[in-house]
Amino acid sequence: MSLRAREFVESFIVEYEAPVVHESDDLTESKAFASSCYASAAIEGISKAEIDEEYKDLVAEFASSHESIINDVNKAKVAEDD
């Protein structure tokens, strides 16, 4: 298990995915974020293999975080309306 790979991916999600997320069932964005994450990780000296050891399907991880972020945004909107 690679703690630094997990920490890198988690911070990548917060820094890059969360600010631009919008509702979509298309995996295109998740695939683009995964590709960008691999490239950024390589610059930091974290290999694709190291990330893949931690995340068996990085696209699915981004899709899952995308869905979670959308749910949080929708809950916040409902709370504002109350």
What pLDDT shows up at residue 76? 66
What pLDDT shows up at residue 68? 77
Domain that holds residue 40: 3-81
Instruction: With a cut of 60, say whether residue 1 has pLDDT above it.
Output: no
What value does the mean pLDDT take over residues 19-45?
Answer: 84
Specify the higher pLDDT residue, 4 or 71. Answer: 4
Specify the higher pLDDT residue, 22 or 6. Answer: 6
Residue 39 C-beta-side C-alpha neighbours within 13 Å? 6
Tens-digit pLDDT profile for residues 35-81: 999 999 999 999 999 999 999 999 999 888 877 777 666 676 667 66
Sign of CA dihedral 46, 49, 54, 57: positive
Total of domains in the chain: 1
